[in-house]
Structure 1
Amino acid sequence: MHHVSFLQDLAVVMIVAAVVTIIFRQLKQPVVLGYILAGVIIGPHTPPFPLISDQHTIETLSELGVIFLMFALGLEFSLRKLTQVGVTALVAAAFEILFMVWVGYQLGLAFGWNTMDSVFLGAILSISSTTIIIKALEEIGKTRERFAQLIFGILIVEDILAILMIAMLSAFATTGELGMGQLAATVGRLSAFLGVLLVAGLILVPRLLNYVAKFKSNEMLLVTVTGLCFGVSLLAVKLGYSVALGAFLIGAIIAEARQIAQIEDLMHPVRDLFSAVFFVSIGLLIDPVLLAQYWLPILVITLAVVVGKVLTCFFGTFIAGNDLKSSMRVGMGLAQIGEFSFIIAALGLSLKVTSGFLYPIAVAVSALTTLSTPYLIRSSDSAVGLLVRWMPPGLMASLNAYTEWVGGLSTNRGRKSGGVFLRKWGWQIALNLLLIAAVFIAAVYFKDHGRDWAWVPEVPGGQNGWKGAIWLAAMVVSLPMIIAAVRKWQAFGMLVSEMSVSRAAGGERTPAIRAVISQTLFVAGCAGLLLYLLVLSSALLPSRNLLVVLAVVLVGTAMLLRRAFIRVHSKAQVALQQTLSEPPAQREGGESGHGHGDRHAAETPVLPPLLREAQLVMVQVTDASPVAGKLIAEIQLRTLTGASIVGIERVAEGANVINPGVSEELKAGDTVLLLGTEGQIVEAKKVFGG
């Protein structure tokens, strides 16, 4: 009868949540608060009796809410946006975390708690809640504004730093020391995981989605992206990271696909359903009795979270070069704690190093700061207005000058072409080294566990032969990256020598001096790469005799297949650049549907009768046309010209697409029916190459 109990609990959760949120809508209050209140009403701590029988099941469903919320965040926050706000996110997140850890530690000591409770309290207060902020911003329709993108960037950096913090706390709790060696290993594994997932995902996922989109089936597309979401989230958990990180990363990768507008439309209802369960589950944890017992610490900590995060995030965002208004809105949007705080508090309990009251206090503070978040975000503009009115004119002018100065620095960066190439090649070398590290991390794992797998063949030579085979395989897989890193470093050295020695300074000896610098850098880089490979190989190296034999085999393989390895790496690099260079599809105002795969699209009238000045013109798409092979969303015809595509005659397939959606692809041989005024049609023909 477990399924009946589960159905009953789910019915109670959704019915109570629906009733409460309808009331909150009528009162014009944030819906997320209604979800939390619904959780309190049906929770085990609210008399006369709990309305659900299995709270664990609801908490499991709430995990799905976290996954879909983080996935949706990734869809809206593409990697291009992350690069745009990366400096601000890093500065603000680092400043906030360091300050709030110190504040929490001092508060714990002031309450008379022991050192471990105080340390964990600082960690709990340092991380803001991604899920709560997303929901609050969505309800007021601010997710695409500049300050919201800054908030999302800070949250991403916070989540990554939270993983490192958990590793540090685990080592500190068990040994009493920070364990920098373990921390360094954690940083290396996390960097390798992020690098490999992003590179492989950006190469493979957009092409997979392009293939699925050819079937014109929303169902296939939804199942595919959901499978990718769960698969990468599971991979992250298996590697010791959070499901939230995995879901966000795959969302950011899918955001670079051409079908992003269609995918967002498909995922929103699914996300809303499970996110409701997540916020209800937070309410289930609130114990009114506990709130009364620890009311003073809860209120003081809540006030410290709100004030501390507003000030630190405001200051960190501002010193990174953002204006006062955006900085204040960022600070007031990040003033809460959430899911990572629960994870850190639970870690202390599981390690038996923190007191039992710390977790409930974290939940209560999270609930109170969650209640205040929507109001803080909505009042941020008023707070900026008050700040501007009270601030002396001279100070205001100085702050504006600072913002313009920092902005000018970021604009002037990279104007010299040599510096641009050095940074570009430097990042490419770093990425190749990161991928090599990931290969060896996987090889070490395979060395430790692979022999127990039934499908793995027996390798002669025992453990020594097994290690040698794994090392050789890892080196062969890494050869494309190794060769690419060597070639990039050689070019890097040559460019440095050109930039460092001018003709005026070197005179006739300029070529010789440049050659010495270039060769010195090249040899030093190759030596460093060799040392790097030896460090990575330390757990895999076989006996000396076998290593010599395998090294000869490796060198021979590299010499024979060098060109093939270069081609493989070049193709992967081109595929990655194509993914990042193609603009993501955007919704065009007024156009709806998903092509002829949407049966409702065919019911829409082709020509509205009230448009008396409109003209219908047919345009041919040729092989040489600049729009051939592009989605309607990509060419942004309505945005650029005002004209609309209302029909496509596809002779090759014997099909007609009436009122096509933004995800429809224009193919060579199509005859396109344009609707617009005379001037709009003229401009539209130019877009088609006419």
Structure 2
Amino acid sequence: MLAETVTATAETATHLYPLISDLGLILMTAAVAVLIFKKIKQPLVLGYLIAGFLAGNHFDFFPSVTDIKSVEVWAEIGVIFLLFSLGLEFSFKKLVKVGGTASITAVTQIVAMLFIGYTVGHLMGWKQMDCIFLGVILSISSTTIILKTFDELGVKAQKFAGNVIGSLIVQDIVAILMMVLLSTIAVSSQFSGSELIKSVLKLVFFLTIWFVGGIFFIPTLLKRAKSLLTDEMLLIVSIALCLMMVILAANVGFSPALGAFIMGSIIAETTQAEHIEHLVKPVKDLFGAVFFVSVGMLINPGTLAQYYIPVIILTVVVIFGQSVSSMIGALLSGQPLKQSVQTGMSLSQIGEFSFIIATLGMTLDVTSSFLYPIVVAVSAVTTFTTPFMVKLSIPVSEFLSKKLPRKWVKRIERYSANAQAIKSVSTWQIVLRAYLLQIIIHSIIIVAVTFLSAKFLLPLVEGSKFGNAIAALVTLILLSPFLWALALRRVAVKEVLILMAERKYRGPIIMMILFRFILTLVFIGFLLDNFFSREVAFIAFAVALILYIIFPKKLNAQYHRIETHFMKNLNAREIINNKRRRSDLTPWEGHLSTFDIAKESNIAGKTLQELQLREEIGVNIAFIKRGDITIKIPSRNERLFPGDEVCVIGTDKQVDEFKDYLNKHEIDVSPNVKENEIVLQQLELKNEDFIGKSIRQSQLREKTNGLVVGIERKGDRILNPDSQMILEKDDILWIVGDKKLLTKLVQP
């Protein structure tokens, strides 16, 4: 018996030996590389890539990994945790709040680089699938590298950084969608329009179901189990939820990475998102390191020597193509020239998503073997160049301002100023958006529940006398609130009443109402047709319709409870954390930033007049938040107290000076922006009551409970003007103040 045990133990050790030794080699090499790259202040990703090259089979003067298959499994797990962690940092609402500026920038860059990448690959004689993957690979910038660079250069609080980060959010979402589409193209090996449409509709269907169901159940689960969950249990539950969604995504034909990302984005809406992100980070870092090391193991010097010309060409294409396309996108979105150049030059690299997409091509066996090492080489070079591109962006913007024709510069400035003023959405757009959202979400929920019931519930009652009737009744009860909401729930009530007063909108609105009602009838018929014969389904349909007419109030109440629960879960994190928001004064590159006054600060207790912040640094105090109290546009006699949050308005340079000023006085800095009722409003001066008076004499501060923070006069701009400045006709004033008072002021 003892001999058998010893033999079994020896066999187990023999089996585990390559696994343990390989993992030890990878982590030891990665640790040394990371220490070196940390010392020379270079991105850690490059350290992992070089560690992988050293531990790989293409470098003979260093111990090599023996079991490549195990490393590939770890690398796949690394991708899952990387995407899960990315999802935890992402919020679906954050994408909405990114707005048009970052979306236009990102979409312009992606479309341009898709075309450029495909064209360059075609000109180099690569096969079509290589060209398609190359276009996608070159279109996605690196979130990891950019955020790391911003931290190291200390520019994360500057205005252009907000647009860059917003663009990265959009790019990450588009990258996920393109991974799904690439998988479809690779499997079908053709550009079938119908197949692509099916894939997109399938993706939208499952994303909606997963998001709605996840937000409805998961925050509630975590909230009710909060008192029972230790850090260890919360980590286990989070990873379990992640892997559950990975399995679900794989079973319906999507990549495991998509499932991990979706679960991360669902958990990101919970109140424990930051804590979970903190707990998952070590796991993500471990397996993420293994992933990047595995990428480095595929670097083949022979292949790179053979394809050094494509590496050089693609490096130039990425640096200049991404910079120019992103800059054009930022200009189109209404950003000034300086910020557009800073945005473009910051996005001039490829990184982790490019590796993942290149890995997808290899896994599906549809791309050539040389593509992967070329992509890694281009990423390594552009990672090194990123900090220099960010540093050079200001000199380049100044150079362009001087060298470009003056007419062009003036048009860019005017377009930028006007773009900020175009914020309104028409009443018809509001109504149309509300109706489409109502139809799409409820239709997906109804179809999903019907299919699930037919697949899982119906087989349980099959063979019994009233089995089908019971299954149909249960399904109908479950769907009744959603069917009622699809047919009869009123949305955008005020806007609909406004439009109904105009004759040209009455017909379209009535048609939309009828369409919703007819679609509901179709879904009821579809549901019953899955459980009964046509004749029985028709009778059941009539009975169901009568029941819906008899109990509208109960259905309304039930749906209201479901919706309230969903919205409560969706907004819980935002309500508790008082999520911060960034406000911009684009024409002057000024913006609002919030800083915390530390308890040990030696400026606490002083008045704003004593501090002379405006005179010494050039910033204005927009508001002071003290606990639950917000002091809007504080007077010069207002004192600062420990724990206050002060919101200042100024340029990037002024905000940095204020930050340094606080640091000198031992202040804890938290450069985030708080949700507030203070807004920036553009006002063209036409009112005779103000013309010829100074800013102080005009009493604009008293009338708006605000500050005049900018004046544009005949093309010249003045940020934070002196209170004695005389106002002239056709001045364009930028005022930060109370939203309601400003609205009254600009109304004729």
> Match of 1:673?
none
CA gap 1:69/1:586 in 2 versus in 1, 3 angstroms: farther
In the alignment, structure 1 residue 103 sits paired with structure 2 residue 116: yes
In 1, are the aligned partners of 2:101 and 2:163 still within 8 Å (CA)? no
Q: How does 1:25-424 map to 2 (within 5 A)?
A: 25-48=38-61, 50-130=63-143, 132-133=145-146, 145-170=161-186, 173=189, 176=190, 178-215=191-228, 217-338=230-351, 340-342=353-355, 344-345=357-358, 354-377=367-390, 379-410=392-423, 412-413=424-425, 420=430, 423-424=433-434
> Match of 2:518?
527
Alpha-carbon separation, structure 1, partners of 2:453 and 2:346: 43
Alpha-carbon separation, structure 2, partners of 1:298 and 1:634: 55
Alpha-carbon separation, structure 1, partners of 2:393 and 2:353: 25
State which of 459, 462, 487 in structure 1 corresponds to 2:462.
Answer: 459
TM-score, length of structure 1 as denominator length:
0.72
Deviations 1:498-547 (A, max 9, x none): 42435xx89xxxxxx96x8765543243234545777x779958642343
Alpha-carbon separation, structure 2, partners of 1:354 and 1:253: 33
State which of 14, 17, 24 in structure 1 corresponds to 2:30.
Answer: 17
> Match of 1:487?
488
Alpha-carbon separation, structure 2, partners of 1:547 and 1:34: 66
CA gap 1:121/1:475 in 2 versus in 1, 3 angstroms: farther
Name the amino acid aligned to 2:462. V
Alpha-carbon separation, structure 1, partners of 2:339 and 2:264: 25
In the alignment, structure 1 residue 436 sits paired with structure 2 residue 419: no
Unpaired segments ≥5 residues, structure 1: 507-512, 593-606, 614-632, 646-690
What secondary structure, in the 3-state scheme, does the structure 2 residue paired with 1:582 have? helix
CA gap 1:149/1:561 in 2 versus in 1, 3 angstroms: farther
In 2, are the aligned partners of 1:73 and 1:134 still within 8 Å (CA)? no
What secondary structure, in the 3-state scheme, does the structure 1 residue paired with 2:58 have? coil
Alpha-carbon separation, structure 2, partners of 1:134 and 1:87: 21
> Match of 1:478?
479
Alpha-carbon separation, structure 1, partners of 2:529 and 2:99: 35
Deviation of the 1:639 alpha carbon: 11
In 1, are the aligned partners of 2:52 and 2:294 still within 8 Å (CA)? yes
In 1, are the aligned partners of 2:102 and 2:164 still within 8 Å (CA)? no
Please provide the CA RMSD for this pair.
4.4
Deviation of the 1:303 alpha carbon: 1.9
In 2, are the aligned partners of 1:146 and 1:326 still within 8 Å (CA)? no
CA gap 1:205/1:308 in 2 versus in 1, 3 angstroms: same
CA gap 1:89/1:589 in 2 versus in 1, 3 angstroms: closer
What secondary structure, in the 3-state scheme, does the structure 2 residue paired with 1:457 have? helix
In 1, are the aligned partners of 2:117 and 2:134 still within 8 Å (CA)? yes
Alpha-carbon separation, structure 2, partners of 1:638 and 1:46: 62
State which of 545, 548, 567 in structure 1 corresponds to 2:538.
Answer: 548
- Shifted more, 271-280 versus 468-477: the winner is 468-477
> Match of 2:562?
572
In 2, are the aligned partners of 1:32 and 1:135 still within 8 Å (CA)? no
Alpha-carbon separation, structure 1, partners of 2:129 and 2:197: 23
Deviations 1:192-232 (A, max 9, x none): 22222222333333333333433573333333333333333
Name the amino acid aligned to 2:499. M
Name the amino acid aligned to 1:523. L
Deviation of the 1:405 alpha carbon: 1.9
In 2, are the aligned partners of 1:298 and 1:364 still within 8 Å (CA)? yes
Deviation of the 1:335 alpha carbon: 3.2
CA gap 1:148/1:71 in 2 versus in 1, 3 angstroms: farther
Alpha-carbon separation, structure 2, partners of 1:121 and 1:12: 32
Name the amino acid aligned to 2:564. V
Q: What is the count of residue pairs matched by the alignment? A: 588
Alpha-carbon separation, structure 2, partners of 1:284 and 1:472: 58
Deviation of the 1:428 alpha carbon: 3.5
In 1, are the aligned partners of 2:439 and 2:516 still within 8 Å (CA)? no
Deviation of the 1:291 alpha carbon: 0.4
In 1, are the aligned partners of 2:446 and 2:523 still within 8 Å (CA)? no
Alpha-carbon separation, structure 1, partners of 2:604 and 2:337: 49
CA gap 1:249/1:354 in 2 versus in 1, 3 angstroms: closer
Higher RCO (Cα < 8 Å, 6 or more apart): 1
What secondary structure, in the 3-state scheme, does the structure 2 residue paired with 1:273 have? helix
CA gap 1:232/1:636 in 2 versus in 1, 3 angstroms: farther
What secondary structure, in the 3-state scheme, does the structure 2 residue paired with 1:59 have? helix
Deviations 1:554-592 (A, max 9, x none): 436645765444333212211233332625367999999
Q: How does 1:539-618 map to 2 (within 5 A)?
A: 540=530, 543-552=533-542, 554-555=544-545, 558=548, 562-578=552-568, 579-580=570-571, 582-584=575-577
What secondary structure, in the 3-state scheme, does the structure 1 residue paired with 2:111 have? helix
Alpha-carbon separation, structure 2, partners of 1:193 and 1:500: 36
In 2, are the aligned partners of 1:321 and 1:404 still within 8 Å (CA)? yes
In 1, are the aligned partners of 2:138 and 2:350 still within 8 Å (CA)? yes
Deviation of the 1:406 alpha carbon: 2.0
Deviation of the 1:127 alpha carbon: 3.7
In 2, are the aligned partners of 1:79 and 1:252 still within 8 Å (CA)? yes
CA gap 1:245/1:113 in 2 versus in 1, 3 angstroms: closer
Alpha-carbon separation, structure 1, partners of 2:197 and 2:368: 29
Alpha-carbon separation, structure 1, partners of 2:176 and 2:322: 18
CA gap 1:307/1:409 in 2 versus in 1, 3 angstroms: same
Alpha-carbon separation, structure 2, partners of 1:261 and 1:166: 32
What secondary structure, in the 3-state scheme, does the structure 1 residue paired with 2:460 have? coil
In 1, are the aligned partners of 2:529 and 2:537 still within 8 Å (CA)? no
- Shifted more, 137-146 versus 98-107: the winner is 137-146
CA gap 1:381/1:476 in 2 versus in 1, 3 angstroms: farther
CA gap 1:493/1:23 in 2 versus in 1, 3 angstroms: closer
Deviations 1:9-32 (A, max 9, x none): 222222222222222222222222
CA gap 1:434/1:551 in 2 versus in 1, 3 angstroms: same
> Match of 2:499?
499
Deviations 1:596-625 (A, max 9, x none): xxxxxxxxxxx99x9999xxxxxxxxxxxx
> Match of 2:743?
none
In 2, are the aligned partners of 1:123 and 1:165 still within 8 Å (CA)? no
Deviation of the 1:45 alpha carbon: 0.7
In 1, are the aligned partners of 2:43 and 2:383 still within 8 Å (CA)? no
Alpha-carbon separation, structure 1, partners of 2:278 and 2:597: 13
- Shifted more, 633-642 versus 312-321: the winner is 633-642
> Match of 1:510?
none
Deviation of the 1:286 alpha carbon: 0.8
